[in-house]
Structure 1
Amino acid sequence: MRRTALPERRPFGSGPAVSPFCLGTMRATGSAEQMAAVLRAAVAAGINHIETAPAYGTAEHFLGLALAELRQEQPERVADLVLTSKLLPGLGLAEGQAQLRQILQRLGIERLDNLAVHGLNRPEHLDWALRGAGAELLRWALDEGLVGQVGFSSHGENGLIEAALASGRFQFCSLHLHWFDQQRLPLAQAALKAGLGVLAISPADKGGRLYDPPATLLADCAPYVPLELAYRFLLDQGISCLSLGAAQASDLALAAALNPSGEAWLGPEHRLALETLQQQGLARLGAEACHQCQACLPCPMGVPIPALLRLRNLDVGHGMHAFAEERYNLIGRAGHWWEERNASACERCGDCLPRCPHQLPIPDLLADTHQRLASAPRRRLWG
């Protein structure tokens, strides 16, 4: 009789080991029944890491109800779960203490495995966490035994993330790590080498709406679906855990099916598919491909040139217009969670031109990016 392989578990800082995939609860907020169905599907798929936050509206409340229900039926499964929640930076000590106690109450637990600073995106956020009221709050939470370890999520610049990782304050981090945006991978690798846990933020959605790929991208990735290649790439890099924001049980089907049973996450056939994907995109972009070297920065007008041209790369190179347009139109409308200036801020000063090793006509490409992608404002999922 063939024995069923045990689900893989990966180190996550100084806390309990976690499954390669993490259930993010920000989308299963329609009802308690919806959350319960998603939680059951996650557990059935071998997922033991569950991430939530007060900022996700009803998520914690519904998750607490689902956990209580599951605890009655499968107490051993609930005992294996690793729970992560987050608090926004800037809270006073008393307010933060009250919010943490409310998190524990909503989830029906006495101790949270992982507590993260939710959106360590600006220098003042890091100062709050290291020297301000946040430092007191995190120290109190640990000393009181209310949390097992502390970490942060960040949508900020690499320099800020690097400073946070070097501070020694955090045991894990959640970062934007994607096949189509690899600029933070060196930071993730350094964090892993230092023994920190690393969670990839939404590789399915923020990584390119890969759950709904355009025909061009599907053809470029054949015989695999784009999301499988993206997942395999990150797990092969050693990333501790990939977050999945599931709204229904079927959203977890691919993660449940991806069980390598001992073989490498990224085999020769997958590497060939990724190489073909890259070459197809470069062929369509031709001499206008931005290689994301960052040499054009800083821009005197504060234009995030590589980030904007990356969206153009995806649109032209792989037909990912819906994703590129969605992300472009969040610029300036999402506070510190996203870029603040779009391509229309370029004044054609020309400072970037001699710095580009590929001699790209950057002002022209920025103007083309704006023409392609600018549209009506979009609403973020939360916040």
Structure 2
Amino acid sequence: MQYRRFGKTNLSLSVFSLGTMRYLGSKEVAQQTISLAVELGINHIETARGYGSSEEHLGGAIASGSVSRDQVYITTKIPPTPDATSMRRYINESLERLNLDYLDCLGIHGLNTWEHLDWVKAEDGCMHAVQEAVIDGRVRHVGFSTHGSLELILAAINTDLFEFVNIHYYYFFQRHAAAIERALEKDMGIFIISPADKGGKLYTAPSKLQEICHPFTPLELNYRFLLSNSRITTLSVGPATPEELIEPLRIADSVDKLTQDEIEALQRLENQLSLSLGADKCSQCYACLPCPENINIPEVLRLRNLAVAYDMTDYGQYRYGMFENAGHWFPGMKANKFTECGECLPKCPENLDIPTLLYDTHEQLKGKAGRRLWG
């Protein structure tokens, strides 16, 4: 296992962090997963108030001695609140569930909207309680996680209130590269959220994608794309069982620059995208927004890109089903809400027939609606 400095926190974190959103089952499985993670070199465990019984399971592992407090750094995440009183109570509740006197890191969980950012910046908002907790030692370091827009993320980083950021960024979604660059300029720790799942459901990659990536697996190639970037501190790995830790951590020492073979595999992916989509490829410039019908056109067309080029239809249906069902965690209407108003057409530098592509994407990806595990 390799370790990297987590920005201005100066914590030395393992390049893989144990995320606990998926171990919502028995206490015994959770404790076995935590114990194996530590044994394999993971020294950072991330949980959240909203992850079911995750905080209690981790707290139980600490209380039982199956994991020693001095072996791990612990982060929990709490959603933004409009007032300090609620945040003060939430911090105390999390500490109690975790059997801790202090948190190494507290993340504002889901800083996803401009209203959330207003709450954070307000003089009597949630950060007032967070800063109290920092002063009295209950919290050592403060950051935020986000599913928000690039513009919102940059604005949050620029408040200088935070020491780290949890962010979506993968080979198949590079929109937030500018946020990573800005976080680096601010000496913030950079934590990549869910590279296996949100990054493309790469643990069940379609055969076409596997063939293009060979001799690497798609999951391995995505991990290497991230680990080779020295600006990134740590990647979340979220096993439901101890056994699911084994495959990702096989490359926990592979943090050097990409090899020539890996570069060629990534180039094959790029070539396939261009070849499969031709003049219908959306290059993700986001110039088409805002949409009057609140359709997240670039994200819809990104999912179409992946489905057409790599047969990533299962992933596309999984993410597309979140529209209209996940609130501010995945905002936007489904593509069948378009009205052919035509506002997006003159904005597109590639002259895409956006209404036709939206209709096509909806027909390919409509399916069972998805929901988050909480909220």
| Counterpart code for 1:285 | L
Is 1:104 aligned to 2:113, yes or no? no
What residue in structure 2 maps to residue 188 of structure 1?
A: 180
What residue in structure 2 maps to residue 69 of structure 1?
A: 64
Q: Residues 330-361 of structure 1, C-alpha deviation per residue, up to 9 Å, x if partnerless?
A: 10111111122121121112222222222211
Q: Distance in 1 between matches of 2:120 and 2:179?
A: 19
Q: Are the equivalent residues in 1 in contact too, given 2:336–2:359 (CA < 8 A)?
A: yes
Q: Are the equivalent residues in 1 in contact too, given 2:16–2:249 (CA < 8 A)?
A: no
| Counterpart code for 2:202 | L
| Counterpart code for 2:372 | R
| Counterpart code for 2:288 | C
Of 243, 257, 272, the residue aligned with 2:236 is 243
Q: Residues 192-244 of structure 1, C-alpha deviation per residue, up to 9 Å, x if partnerless?
A: 23210111110100011011111111111111001111111112222111111
Secondary structure at the aligned position of 2:6 is classed as: strand
What residue in structure 2 maps to residue 149 of structure 1?
A: 141
Is 1:209 aligned to 2:204, yes or no? no
Q: Distance in 2 between matches of 1:225 and 1:10?
A: 28
What residue in structure 1 maps to residue 5 of structure 2?
A: 10
Is 1:57 aligned to 2:48, yes or no? no
Residue ranges of structure 1 left out of the alignment (5+ in a row): 1-5
Residues 282-297 of structure 1: matches in 2 within 5 Å? 282-297=274-289
Is 1:46 aligned to 2:37, yes or no? no
| Counterpart code for 2:95 | L
Secondary structure at the aligned position of 1:339 is classed as: coil
Q: Distance in 2 between matches of 1:133 and 1:299?
A: 31
What residue in structure 2 maps to residue 230 of structure 1?
A: 222
Q: Residues 72-131 of structure 1, C-alpha deviation per residue, up to 9 Å, x if partnerless?
A: xx64xx413111001111253233222211211221221101001110011111111111
- Closer/same/farther in 2, CA of residues 115 and 229 from structure 1, 3 Å limit: same
Residues 249-328 of structure 1: matches in 2 within 5 Å? 249-260=242-253, 264-328=256-320
Residue ranges of structure 2 left out of the alignment (5+ in a row): none
Of 112, 116, 123, the residue aligned with 2:107 is 116
Q: Are the equivalent residues in 2 in contact too, given 1:23–1:245 (CA < 8 A)?
A: yes
Q: Distance in 2 between matches of 1:92 and 1:354?
A: 43
| Counterpart code for 2:270 | Q
Q: Are the equivalent residues in 1 in contact too, given 2:38–2:71 (CA < 8 A)?
A: no
Q: Distance in 2 between matches of 1:116 and 1:8?
A: 20
Q: Distance in 2 between matches of 1:380 and 1:112?
A: 26
How many residues are aligned here?
A: 373
Q: Distance in 1 between matches of 2:97 and 2:304?
A: 43
Q: TM-score w.r.t. structure 1 length?
A: 0.93
Q: Are the equivalent residues in 2 in contact too, given 1:15–1:113 (CA < 8 A)?
A: no
Q: Are the equivalent residues in 2 in contact too, given 1:15–1:149 (CA < 8 A)?
A: no
Secondary structure at the aligned position of 2:106 is classed as: strand
Q: Distance in 2 between matches of 1:114 and 1:312?
A: 37
Q: Are the equivalent residues in 1 in contact too, given 2:166–2:191 (CA < 8 A)?
A: yes
What residue in structure 1 maps to residue 31 of structure 2?
A: 36
Secondary structure at the aligned position of 1:9 is classed as: strand
Q: Distance in 1 between matches of 2:332 and 2:285?
A: 21
What residue in structure 2 maps to residue 339 of structure 1?
A: 331
Q: Distance in 2 between matches of 1:93 and 1:295?
A: 38
Of 104, 127, 130, the residue aligned with 2:118 is 127
Q: Distance in 1 between matches of 2:193 and 2:87?
A: 24
Secondary structure at the aligned position of 1:55 is classed as: coil
What residue in structure 1 maps to residue 152 of structure 2?
A: 160
Q: TM-score w.r.t. structure 2 length?
A: 0.95
Q: Are the equivalent residues in 1 in contact too, given 2:87–2:130 (CA < 8 A)?
A: no
Q: Distance in 2 between matches of 1:346 and 1:271?
A: 39
**1:15 shift after superposition:** 4.4
**1:166 shift after superposition:** 0.3
